[in-house]
């Protein structure tokens, strides 16, 4: 049966459901786990809660964290099943079946364009992105929407920071997510293959980034960078943000007008110049001589098409990034003009450095064919992906390997010959491949980071770099479904979790506790210490909202019926 959302106001339906005559004795008895009088006053027992997660072999940190979370939630009187799925199954289940699941382990990966918090503040939680976009938990708070919209328009840095601070505080209160940790990126590579002076450490990202892949210089005869992904790839598609590992490929195959530099600031890339004409108009001059991988020239018409292609429903995940564009027009054969609906503090980073440039002659007929189909652009996979970036797709099998070769004609051609990504879903197997030299850039290691440090001490050819990620690990709570549609219930789930224990037990100390959607790696925007943990306070929060323990099992407030069964 489909759940009905009750909104996210501080009171929620739970307080309305408490009978007017419920006594303090009943609530106190419920908190202590007494039955009797409490049992007669309470609603249905809460069904089994299913928390889905990646399997232990694929992501041991996430799996261990899920076990710890299940353990703490059971102390509240909940029946919790921790259910492991392969990453591909989990993604499809959560993303495509938004009404069905209860709670999911999830991660927001650090990407350069997220150095401006707009994507985190707006796209993750604005109600317009709930149906098919990033707001997959279905959070809906009109007051929050207004804050998220206002920070986009505010060009005064101090005023915008106040809005972003307020947004973080609202999210901490409403708890659509249970924030866990900001992990440290722990990446190892072979110094016998790659010159350490050419490996770039990008703030909030680490050394696994676009600038490293373009600039890494071989020191010997091995000129191929061999990496690995712990997840099966979903797609190689410039109109679909399909996952962390997929995005590494997208970054390299498709150019953008701007890129976020290692310093976190937007810098021209396919554009030679970006110039504001006024507060809502800017002119972009294209770098001359750019070509698509099939040899055809990149034109202003291609650029305009690239932004228009994601403005409709064909690409729902990219649509929010262009929603503030009022018009795009050709000024000359090398200049395109963007006019915005409102002033935007983050447009250079969140839009010009986000949207992939795609060839009109390739994608226009594809989109025309999809216009009469129930599917959108996200379901389309080119047989031979065509971009203009510093790497070309040589061959790919999404469940096995992707091979990119350098685009020697690119104005910033890579120093390596090939970039080879292998799918290795077992962390121990990937570590063994590094020891044997079968991979020379350990790009997606999720095992015990101490093992990497020990390996580097034993093998002087191994270099390890560690930095706090601008991304975060969290539990997504399905706000569409009871009991998660009650803010008090969500708050209690968050209060029950000890983040310091998570850091030590699941991430072995290689993370910092998370209390916000904005990482401490983004120091200018981060708000510290707005999420706390206290199991007794979690129990009290539930009791004050009318929930009660009956024979050590948590029940809804008085009169509330259970309308769902566990999936």
Say if CB 306 and CB 340 are below 8 A apart: no
pLDDT at residue 379, as a whole number:
86
Predicted TM-score (pTM) of the model is 0.73
The DSSP secondary-structure symbol of 112 reads: G
Relative orientation angle of helices 449-458 and 427-436, to the nearest 10 degrees: 10
Q: β-strand 49-53 against 80-84: which pairing, if any?
A: parallel
Determine which helix (DSSP H) or strand (DSSP E) holds 105, and give its type and residue range: strand 103-108
Q: Which residue has the tokens 């609603």?
A: 43
Section 503-523 average pLDDT: 92
State how far the Cα of 476 lies from the Cα of 42, in Å rounded to an integer.
27
For residue 10, the model assigns a pLDDT of 35
Task: Give the whole-angstrom CA distance, residue 455 versus residue 119.
Answer: 37
- CATH architecture of residue range(s) 192-230+390-460: 3-Layer(aba) Sandwich (3.40)
Compute the average pLDDT of residues 435-450: 92
Which string of DSSP letters, residue by residue, matches 31-89? HHT--THHHHH--PBP--EEEEE--TTT-HHHHHHHHHHHHHHHTTT--EEEEE--HHH
211 φ, ψ to 5°? -70, -35
- What 3-state DSSP class applies to 274? strand
* C-alpha to C-alpha distance for 326 and 26, rounded to whole angstroms: 58
271-310 confidence digits (pLDDT tens):
999 999 998 999 999 999 999 999 999 999 999 999 999 9
Assess whether the region 192-230+390-460 and the region 258-366 belong to the same CATH fold.
Answer: no
What is the Cα Rg of the chain in Å?
25
| Beta-strand pair 266-268/462-468 | unpaired
Residue 512 pLDDT > 90: yes
φ and ψ of 199, to 5 deg = -90, 125
- Domains of the chain, by residue range, sit at 54-183+470-540, 192-230+390-460, 258-366
Among 303, 310, 433, residue whose Cα is nearest residue 376: 310
Given CATH 1.10.1200.10, say whether it is the number of domain 258-366: no
Question: Cα separation of 205 and 301, whole Å?
Answer: 33
Does position 82 have pLDDT exceeding 80, yes or no? yes
Q: What's the pLDDT tens digit per position in 385-442?
A: 999 999 999 999 999 999 999 999 999 999 999 999 999 999 999 999 999 999 999 9
Given this model, what pLDDT does residue 373 score? 83
pLDDT of residue 7 exceeding 90, the answer is no
């Amino acid at each position: 049966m489909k759940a009905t959302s009750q909104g996210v106001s501080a009171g929620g339906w739970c307080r309305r459901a408490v009978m007017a005559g419920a006594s303090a004795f009943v609530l106190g008895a419920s908190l202590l786990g007494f039955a009797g009088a409490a049992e007669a006053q309470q609603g249905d027992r809460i069904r089994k809660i299913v928390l889905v997660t990646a399997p232990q072999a694929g992501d041991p940190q996430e799996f261990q964290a899920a076990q710890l979370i299940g353990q703490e939630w059971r102390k509240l009187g909940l029946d919790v099943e921790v259910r492991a799925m392969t990453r591909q199954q989990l993604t499809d289940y959560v993303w495509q079946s938004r009404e069905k699941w209860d709670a999911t382990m999830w991660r927001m990966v650090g990407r350069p364009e997220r150095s401006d918090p707009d994507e985190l503040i707006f796209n993750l939680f604005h109600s317009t992105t709930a149906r098919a976009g990033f707001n997959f938990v279905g959070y809906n708070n009109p007051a929050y929407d207004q804050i998220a919209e206002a920070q986009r328009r505010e060009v005064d840095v101090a005023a915008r920071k106040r809005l972003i601070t307020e947004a973080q505080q609202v999210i901490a209160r409403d708890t659509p997510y249970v924030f866990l940790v900001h992990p440290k990126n722990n990446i190892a590579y072979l110094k016998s293959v790659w010159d350490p002076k050419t490996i770039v450490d990008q703030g909030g990202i680490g050394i696994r980034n676009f600038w490293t892949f373009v600039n890494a210089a071989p020191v010997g005869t091995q000129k191929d960078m061999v990496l690995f992904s712990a997840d099966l790839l979903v797609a190689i598609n410039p109109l679909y943000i399909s996952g962390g590992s997929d995005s590494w490929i997208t970054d390299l195959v498709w150019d953008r007008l701007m890129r976020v530099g290692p310093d976190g600031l937007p810098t021209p890339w396919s554009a030679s110049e970006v110039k504001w004409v006024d507060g809502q108009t800017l002119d972009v001059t294209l770098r001359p001589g750019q070509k698509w991988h099939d040899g055809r020239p990149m034109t202003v018409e291609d650029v305009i098409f690239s932004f228009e292609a994601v403005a409709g429903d064909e690409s729902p995940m990219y649509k929010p990034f262009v929603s503030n564009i009022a018009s795009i027009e050709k000024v000359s054969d090398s200049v395109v003009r963007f006019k915005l609906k409102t002033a935007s503090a983050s447009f250079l980073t969140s839009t010009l450095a986000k949207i992939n440039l795609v060839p009109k002659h390739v994608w226009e007929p594809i989109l025309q064919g999809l216009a009469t189909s129930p599917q959108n652009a996200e379901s389309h996979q080119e047989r031979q992906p065509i971009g203009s970036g510093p790497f070309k797709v040589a061959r790919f099998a999404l469940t096995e390997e992707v091979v990119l070769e350098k685009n020697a004609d690119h104005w910033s051609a890579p120093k390596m010959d090939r970039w080879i990504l292998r799918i290795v879903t077992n962390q121990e197997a990937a570590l063994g491949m590094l020891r044997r030299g079968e991979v020379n850039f350990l790009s997606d290691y999720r095992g015990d980071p101490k093992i990497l440090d020990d390996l580097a001490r034993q093998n002087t050819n191994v270099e390890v770099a560690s930095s706090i990620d601008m991304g975060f690990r969290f539990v997504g709570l399905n706000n569409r479904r009871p009991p998660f549609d009650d803010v008090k219930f969500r708050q209690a789930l968050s209060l029950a979790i000890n983040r310091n224990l998570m850091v030590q037990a699941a991430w072995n100390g290689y993370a910092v506790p998370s209390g916000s959607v904005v990482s401490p790696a983004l120091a200018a925007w981060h708000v510290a210490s707005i999420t706390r943990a206290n199991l007794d306070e979690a129990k009290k929060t539930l009791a004050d909202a009318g929930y009660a323990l009956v024979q050590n099992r948590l029940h809804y407030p008085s009169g509330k019926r259970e309308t769902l069964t566990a999936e």
